Structure 1
Amino acid sequence: MTTTVLVTGGAGFIGCALSKQLPDHFDRVVAFDNLHPQIHPTATRPADLDERVEFIKGDVTVAEDWDRLLADVRPNVVIHLAAETGTGQSLTEATRHAKVNVVGTTELLDALVRHEALPEKIVLSSSRAVYGEGAWVDADGVVSYPGQRSDAMLESGQWDFPGLTVLPFESSKVSPNPTSVYGSTKLAQENILRAWCLALNVTPVLFRLQNVYGPGQSLSNPYTGIVSFFAQKAKALEVIPVYEDGEIIRDFVYIDDVANALVQGVLHSGANEHAYDIGSGEGTSILRIAGLIADYYGAPAPQINGKYRNGDVRAASSEIGASEAALSWKPEVMVADGVVRLCKWIDAGAPALV
């Protein structure tokens, strides 16, 4: 029997990384992508998309595109990557984010029913943004959810919640409470997919990814990819601007580690009650990563400017022990090494998504 995997958003950063592995496990690999100009300025098939992968251009929000696709493609597994991902951009383009992330998902599900093409499994690439500011703990060990930092709070330079320390994100312990439109759409996506899959006997496998970076990411998209943005500033020997007080914490996870985790989920995971948290397990300050990149290029020291962005969370890191155990997986590239790999790729000419 021919086995087929369909990857929505399959010509994107993560899709291209997956394309190097999936043909080893499936007879047919189909990438479905609209080649949005924000990611693909020339709207052509990316050079990084493995030649063994079929590419079909189409929009996940358009029913007719799904009809055209599913007339020929009968997927055993769907990997749902297609999404709008800009946290800040989602505040001013909320409809676009909701349409792609929420309606795009429901169009996928409706089309699978319409064509009687239910897969065995759907793997969703969700986001750490669903947690929002997450859970914080006080000196007595009492856990609370302080919620979104207000504009007034940020304007006054109050970056943290007084007397509280943030806990790492872990899906079995930290409740989602998104602070951005983007995060809200990703949480809706999770809930819709889980409810639909369990009702129709399809296996849902949910991942919550931390900040993914590495060779292959778009260098032209101003709304995602802070590591590549810093690298391009430093390569030009410009000062890297650092927001707030520099102590914003993120878990930067290397693209190959993300691809390996997703493949493990595709091949081996059953339905997971709690989403897999995928990160490096290492929280890194924005000032530190800016410093690593500046040092690599011999650029001026990064400059803290006190600016902020509404919807951004103060600290985002992950506890990945449960994901490591369930997926027989572990991250291999920590941030100090990953930054060097990214910078070398940029220096070599960066055959990024086009």
Structure 2
Amino acid sequence: MKRHSCLVTGGAGFIGCALSPKLASEFESVVVVDNLHPQIHATRARPAALHEDCELIVGDVCAPSVWDQVLDRFKPDVIVHLAAETGTGQSLSEATRHAHTNVVGTTVMLDALMRHKAIPNRLVLTSSRAVYGEGAWRRRQNDELFYPGQRSLQQLSQGQWDFDGQPIAMEARNVQPAPVSVYGATKLAQEHVLSSWANAVGSEYVILRLQNVFGPGQSLINSYTGIVSLFCQLARRKESIPLYEDGLVQRDFILINDIASAILCAIKKEGISREVFDIGSGVSTTLEQLANEISAIYEAPAPHVVGKYRLGDVRHAFSDTSYSNKFLGWQPAHTLHEGLTALTKWIEVQSKNV
């Protein structure tokens, strides 16, 4: 038997479109609210990848009138809150935009839910590994845990990429949030706002802190997100992929299909309210390893280290998913190689459709 109703903010984007077939089969009614921002959507047309059974309302989550339009006739049992401005580097120069969408957009939604007496049974928030900042490290000499904080401009300009220690995997029960970017700070604020409100009104909530998501459907026009698709496009043109810092930056790459399945688990799983789950592959991959594999697929020149850096970027970020595997009942089903194969095939199809 299908559940009754689900509302998805930002649901016409990369994650929302991948999730939409699962929601269409799970719920009687699915409403998507999305402003179809031109940074993601080249046109304001409905994305072909958004399931036909999902109703799309084009509007800004920061606008109370949009919420009045939605909630006058639709009272969702479940809300999946995807709407957010992303991009670590961009958040430094467009901090107001990030704060407005990520924080104010969330509060406008919550005010509207109260105003329309439309308290959902559960809210699922897609947060980010960016809330951890540089995360926690262990000192080499005594195994002591420490939080190094943000790398300074002076440190980066001198090519001092690492801290004195070893990074540990990001996991909500073992590593405390300490964002070092405006984007990360707004996502942590989003977590706090939503959890405080949900606790007060009696809604269940589940927070998913996502690692680096990639795969078919990812925007190929947004230069601020998607390093995997960026690397693929460079290698496809037979260009050598430039590696920032020393190329040994570590990341955790997770295929979009696995993200969609994790969100569905967060919607359906009983007994997980107020939980925070880390969603990633659980595998640390250096950018050099990633670039080498992509270059090999396209038979492109070998990557090269350029020594540049981006302000606000963290040195290493990878997850420990053991808690998510056990209590969310989820685990990734695809390797990095499988994901890259799917993405490169999809890029070829897109190139023929241009």
1:159 aligns with 2:161: yes
Say which SS state the counterpart of residue 27 (structure 2) adopts.
coil
Q: What TM-score do the two structures reach when normalised by structure 1?
A: 0.97
Alignment partner, residue 142 of structure 1: 144
Alignment partner, residue 216 of structure 2: 215
- 1:138 maps to a residue whose letter is R
Identity %: 53
Following TM superposition, by how much is the alpha carbon of 1:64 offset from its aligned partner in structure 2, in angstroms?
A: 0.8
Following TM superposition, by how much is the alpha carbon of 1:349 offset from its aligned partner in structure 2, in angstroms?
A: 2.1
Aligned partners of 1:4 and 1:77: how far apart in 2?
Answer: 7
Instruction: Output aligned runs, 1:190-339, within 5 Å.
Output: 190-339=191-340
Aligned partners of 2:334 and 2:315: how far apart in 1?
Answer: 24
Following TM superposition, by how much is the alpha carbon of 1:107 offset from its aligned partner in structure 2, in angstroms?
A: 0.4
Following TM superposition, by how much is the alpha carbon of 1:269 offset from its aligned partner in structure 2, in angstroms?
A: 4.1
Aligned partners of 1:72 and 1:159: how far apart in 2?
Answer: 53
CA gap of 1:275–1:349, structure 2 versus 1, over 3 A, is same
Say which SS state the counterpart of residue 254 (structure 2) adopts.
strand
Say which SS state the counterpart of residue 119 (structure 2) adopts.
coil
Aligned partners of 2:219 and 2:313: how far apart in 1?
Answer: 21
Q: Which runs of 5+ in 2 are unaligned?
A: none
CA contact (8 A) 1:212 1:252 kept: yes
- 1:123 maps to a residue whose letter is V
Aligned partners of 1:3 and 1:146: how far apart in 2?
Answer: 47
CA contact (8 A) 1:137 1:166 kept: yes
Following TM superposition, by how much is the alpha carbon of 1:106 offset from its aligned partner in structure 2, in angstroms?
A: 0.2
CA gap of 1:126–1:351, structure 2 versus 1, over 3 A, is farther
Say which SS state the counterpart of residue 88 (structure 2) adopts.
coil
Following TM superposition, by how much is the alpha carbon of 1:151 offset from its aligned partner in structure 2, in angstroms?
A: 0.7
- 2:229 maps to a residue whose letter is S
Following TM superposition, by how much is the alpha carbon of 1:344 offset from its aligned partner in structure 2, in angstroms?
A: 1.1
Alignment partner, residue 119 of structure 1: 120
Aligned partners of 1:80 and 1:270: how far apart in 2?
Answer: 20
Aligned partners of 1:324 and 1:273: how far apart in 2?
Answer: 17
Say which SS state the counterpart of residue 122 (structure 1) adopts.
strand
- 2:266 maps to a residue whose letter is G
How far does the alpha carbon of each residue in 1:3-22 deviate from its partner, in whole angstroms, 9 at most, with x for none? 11000000000000110101
Following TM superposition, by how much is the alpha carbon of 1:270 offset from its aligned partner in structure 2, in angstroms?
A: 3.7
CA contact (8 A) 2:247 2:286 kept: yes
CA contact (8 A) 1:5 1:30 kept: yes
CA contact (8 A) 1:132 1:147 kept: yes
CA gap of 1:325–1:2, structure 2 versus 1, over 3 A, is closer
- 1:245 maps to a residue whose letter is D
Aligned partners of 1:72 and 1:273: how far apart in 2?
Answer: 28
Say which SS state the counterpart of residue 76 (structure 2) adopts.
coil
Say which SS state the counterpart of residue 29 (structure 1) adopts.
strand
Aligned residues: 352
Q: Which runs of 5+ in 1 are unaligned?
A: none
Aligned partners of 1:64 and 1:186: how far apart in 2?
Answer: 24
Following TM superposition, by how much is the alpha carbon of 1:2 offset from its aligned partner in structure 2, in angstroms?
A: 7.0
1:187 aligns with 2:197: no
Q: What TM-score do the two structures reach when normalised by structure 2?
A: 0.97
Higher RCO structure (Cα 8 Å, ≥6 apart): 1
Alignment partner, residue 39 of structure 1: 40
CA gap of 1:72–1:212, structure 2 versus 1, over 3 A, is same
CA contact (8 A) 1:216 1:350 kept: no
How far does the alpha carbon of each residue in 1:202-260 deviate from its partner, in whole angstroms, 9 at most, with x for none? 00110000000000110000000000000001101111111000000000000000000
Aligned partners of 1:345 and 1:335: how far apart in 2?
Answer: 15
Aligned partners of 2:10 and 2:160: how far apart in 1?
Answer: 38
Alignment partner, residue 102 of structure 1: 103
How far does the alpha carbon of each residue in 1:89-139 deviate from its partner, in whole angstroms, 9 at most, with x for none? 000000000000000000010000000011100000000000000000012
Alignment partner, residue 83 of structure 1: 84
CA gap of 1:351–1:191, structure 2 versus 1, over 3 A, is farther
Alignment partner, residue 17 of structure 1: 18
Aligned partners of 2:211 and 2:48: how far apart in 1?
Answer: 25
Say which SS state the counterpart of residue 300 (structure 2) adopts.
coil
Alignment partner, residue 345 of structure 2: 344
CA gap of 1:2–1:24, structure 2 versus 1, over 3 A, is closer
Aligned partners of 1:269 and 1:185: how far apart in 2?
Answer: 28
CA contact (8 A) 2:250 2:287 kept: yes
Following TM superposition, by how much is the alpha carbon of 1:337 offset from its aligned partner in structure 2, in angstroms?
A: 1.8
